[in-house]
Chain A
Amino acid sequence: MKEKPPVIDIRDVNFRYDRENVLEHINLSIPQGAFVGLVGPNGSGKSTLLKIILGLLKAKEGGVELFGIPQDKFKEWDRIGFVSQKANSFNTGFPATVSEVVMGGLTKKIGLFRRPGQKEKEAVAQAVRAVGMETFLTRNIGDLSGGQQQRVFIARAIVSNPSILILDEPTVGVDSQNVDSFYRMLTQLNQELGITLLLVTHDIGTITDKVTHVACLNKYLHFHGSMKQFVELDEQELSDLYGHGIRLLDHHHDH
């Protein structure tokens, strides 16, 4: 049997704004079913790399393949779900229920001039259940906490049944006691629904024990391997990779 192509395959991508190199020689391959953490300090080019993956920016050199198809020929964008940082575009006072918001994720799929039917309603109920928000279906989105709102937006992203979910700093605005259950939910999506996850964050400490692969970005992609290899790196190596002294593994050991 032929092996499934990687969900995202980035080959030797370079990118610069004006004369400043933002990304250099990036190679990143995300296999199906992985839970990849893409970490890097602020200004390391994470957002730029995301925009390149999503086709919003064009790489100056190198190529991106999605599901084995070169990006410029790729048409099935609904296979890629995207959750941006919370509250950058939606207005919290908006009188919409959780189910109305999640149904919004099917707008494109249903198509112009058509109205949602029973099948779509079931898809919404299922997506809301997957993020553990089923008891909030008829609540207004503005009445929920930041973490609950972020779950609703994840439900909106997965309702159209994507193969991969890209999350950009999803825990910004989620209070610290809810961050753990938020990651448990992500792990469930990954393991039970088989959704490939690409999680972008500047906070490496919180994800070390959740992800299956980790990629460290700081203009260059410094490390891309399994979590096991990653935790075996000693502090000096990590410091070299990450660009400055970090104590990210504190989180991982009990003390």
Chain B
Amino acid sequence: MIEAIFTYEFLQNAFLSGAIIGVIAPLLGAFIVVRRLSLIADALSHVTLSGIAAGLFLGQTIPAFAAVNPLYFGMAFSVGGSLLIERLRNVYKHYQELAIPIMMSGGIGIGVIFISLADGFNTDLFSYLFGSVSAVSRGDLYAVIGISAIVLITVYFLYKELFILSFDEEYAKASGIPAKAVHMAFIILTALVIAVSMRIVGVLLVSALMTLPVAAAMRVAKGFKQTIWLSVLFGEISVITGLISAFYLDLAPGGTIVVTSILILLGVIIWKKEKN
């Protein structure tokens, strides 16, 4: 395995991207879960899919777009979608969760139209849906590194604002913290992380990498910082184990990563039960 990583560039791309995503997806996921926004991650991943499909379609039909990584279309759609969700949540003040099915079906609907226009499913699209060990390019890896740097810096410097906003939104607003701006920054980061994580775990499973490790960590952690560290640890174990088994068993890594994190989650729940 180690030898193969040094030999094949595609494996380097996949493992490095995976290792980084294993940190940032659960890191943002910790805030998403405690704010009860887990489903927003799901909605955004579906919107990202329509962006990717649009990128693939444009790449096929207009030569000028062929050189553009569809991932960037995914990012643009995801960020646009996150802003739309916020709008919809304000429109339906008393039924805020309505924003999620609207965006989810909208994302899939638009995605399917572009997919049909681009002559149906192909292997490329399959890798976007369920992740891939072999399809991660150098360009994808650079995008992952860039986005991750932004995420880490933002969370480091806005940690206390993000924390208080998650813990007690009313208090945060009352004490004069720029709650709206911090929330927008957070939602945009989430959209970007979802877009870049999708290359490894796939559109359909990206929200799992943001929520399952956190779900496990919350069972055992003392405090929020510990929840974050444990989430990152569980996320990292899931990604690495998932990628290795996907490589050897020739499976889609999205599946192996999610199954690994579910096993960790089960293990933690059972361990906690035994302990009490």
A complexed with B:
yes
Contacts A89-B168, A94-B167; is A100 near B224 (CB within 8 Å)? yes
Contact check, B159 vs A108: say whether CB atoms are below 8 A apart.
no
* 16 chain-A/chain-B pairs, Cβ below 8 angstroms: A89-B169, A89-B171, A90-B167, A94-B34, A95-B224, A96-B163, A96-B224, A99-B223, A100-B163, A100-B225, A107-B163, A107-B175, A108-B176, A112-B158, A115-B159, A115-B160
Separation of A105 and B156 alpha carbons in the complex (Å): 18
Given contacts A95-B224, A97-B223, A100-B224, contact A107 B218 (CB under 8 A): no
CA distance A91 to B218 in the complex (A): 14
Closest A residue to B176 by CB, please name it.
A108
The minimal Cβ–Cβ distance linking B176 to chain A, given in whole angstroms, is 5
What are the residues of chain B within 8 A of A96 when measuring CB–CB? 163, 167, 223-224
CB distance from A83 to the nearest CB of B (A): 10
Q: How far is the CB of B271 from chain A (nearest CB, A)?
A: 17
Closest to A54 in B: B174
Q: Is the CB of B164 within 8 A of A104?
A: yes
A-contacting residues, B155-194, CB 8 Å: 156-161, 163-164, 166-172, 174-178
Q: Which of A15-56 contact B (CB under 8 A)?
A: none
Flag A45-86 by CB within 8 Å of B: 1 or 0 each: 000000000000000000000000000000001000010100
Bound Cα distance from A82 to B170, whole angstroms: 12
Most buried by B among A95, A105, A110, A115: A95
In the complex, are the beta carbons of B177 and A95 less than 8 A apart?
no
Chain B residues with Cβ below 8 Å from A90 are 167-168, 171
Contact B169 A95 (CB under 8 A): no
Q: Is the CB of A139 within 8 A of B168?
A: no
Closest Cβ of chain A: how far from B181's Cβ, in Å?
9
Measured between alpha carbons, how far is A56 from B34 in the docked complex, in Å? Answer: 28
Chain B's nearest CB lies how many Å from the CB of A10?
A: 20
A178 adjacent to chain B (CB < 8 Å):
no
Residues of chain A within 8 A of B166, CB atoms compared: 94
Residues of chain A within 8 A of B227, CB atoms compared: 95
- The 9 A-B pairs with the shortest beta carbon distances in the complex, nearest first, are A97-B223, A89-B170, A104-B164, A113-B157, A90-B168, A95-B227, A96-B224, A107-B164, A108-B175
Residue B222 lies at the interface, judged by CB distance under 8 Å to chain A: yes
**Is there an interface contact between B176 and A77, defined as CB atoms closer than 8 Å?**
yes
B185-231: which have CB < 8 Å to A? 218, 221-227
Known: A107-B160, A110-B160. 10 other contacts (CB 8 A): A82-B174, A89-B168, A89-B171, A90-B171, A97-B222, A104-B164, A107-B163, A107-B164, A112-B158, A115-B156
Q: Does A190 contact B (CB under 8 A)?
A: no
What is the distance, in angstroms, from B133's C-beta to the closest C-beta of chain A? 34
A161 within 8 A of B: no
Bound CA span A99–B223, Å: 9
A 135-176 contacts with B by CB, 8 A: 138-140
B136 CB → nearest A CB, Å: 33
* Bound: A112/B156 CA distance, A: 11
Q: How far is the CB of B275 from chain A (nearest CB, A)?
A: 15
B218 CB contact (under 8 Å) in A82, A88, A95: A95
Q: Decide yes or no whether A185 CB sits under 8 A from chain B.
A: no
CA distance A105 to B174 in the complex (A): 11
A96–B228 CA distance with the chains assembled, in angstroms:
11
Which residues of chain A have C-beta atoms less than 8 A from B163's C-beta? 96, 100, 104, 107
B168's contact among A104, A106, A115, A140, by CB below 8 Å, is which?
A104
Q: Nearest chain-A residue to B161 (Cβ)?
A: A107
Contact A103 B160 (CB under 8 A): yes
Residues of B within 8 A of A108 (CB): 175-177
Q: Smallest CB-CB separation from A156: which chain B residue?
A: B171
- Once the chains are docked, how many angstroms separate the CA of A181 from the CA of B130? 58
What chain A residues lie within 8 Å of B167 (beta carbons)? 90-91, 94, 96, 101, 104
Contact code string B221-264 (vs A, CB < 8 Å = 1, else 0): 11111110000000000000000000000000000000000000
CB-defined contacts of B158 to chain A, threshold 8 Å: 112-113
* CB of B102 to closest CB in A, whole Å: 25
